[in-house]
Amino acid sequence: MGWFLQLFSGSKTLSYKKQLKNVLGFTPRAVSLYKVALTHRSVKDGAAENNERLEYLGDAILSSIVADFLFKKYPYKEEGFLTEMRSKMVNRATLNEIAIKMGMKKICNYNKYDNSLKISQIFGNTLEAVVGAIYLDRGYNSTNKWVVERIIMPYLFMEELENLEINHKNKLYGWANKNGKSLEFETLEEKLVNGRRLFTMGALINGSLIAQGKAYNKKDASQIAAQQAVEKLGLNKEADVVSD
């Protein structure tokens, strides 16, 4: 009986590897990493068993890869433009849509009886966790290649994203109004750099500085400060509350 169970277990592993290859485009080495990356907290509570830690890692790796991609693609664009483009590319709704198109939902292990999860953004979180798993399994260069070839090129169209309006200030003002907070943007510094005025704008909530941004005009600097504030307050993951 032992040999039969071993054979059956081996067959299941091969089948799972095949599923992963169909979605990821390659056969993983450390399959256990991907099992964790594809496991939501609704079915596994342990920090070593669900994908929250890998999501944290993958979020940072993905942001780094996208930043590098944009830096090379737009050699003459200012920081404000690059920051906004990165925000458009890695926001939760965009990643969730990409993850579903890639087939992540089919192999993600989550509580399928919880209807709220089916309409949440957990698959975008899962995609980030998978990026973290690939990084640990294959290293940064392979992860960079995978992100560019499997996420950026097929799903993120630069011309469309350039024309897509994302206003972080509006989001921050909306949050402040909803929560009874006072929000102001203040010029913290203005100086000449190579003959151009560089502005440092601060985002203040109830009079306390929570984020700042620099750019060659006040509007871009305010948007950068607002984005930093949005990220600091976790407002980009508001649709994620069901997975917290």
Distance between CA 63 and CA 77 in Å, rounded? 18
Tokens representing 195 are: 């003959």
Distance between CA 16 and CA 224 in Å, rounded? 43
Q: Which residues pair with 197 in a beta bridge?
A: 192
Which secondary-structure segment (H or E) carries 185?
A: strand 183-193
Is 203:225 a contact under the CB 8 Å cutoff?
Answer: yes
Q: Are strands 208-215 and 183-193 parallel, antiparallel or unpaired?
A: unpaired
Of 130, 55, 69, the closest CA to residue 99 belongs to 130
Is 202:225 a contact under the CB 8 Å cutoff?
Answer: yes
By annotation, the residues acting in catalysis are 59, 128
Radius of gyration of the chain (CA): 21
Distance between CA 225 and CA 93 in Å, rounded? 22
Please report, as a single letter, which amino acid is at residue 52.
E
Tokens representing 97 are: 């849509």
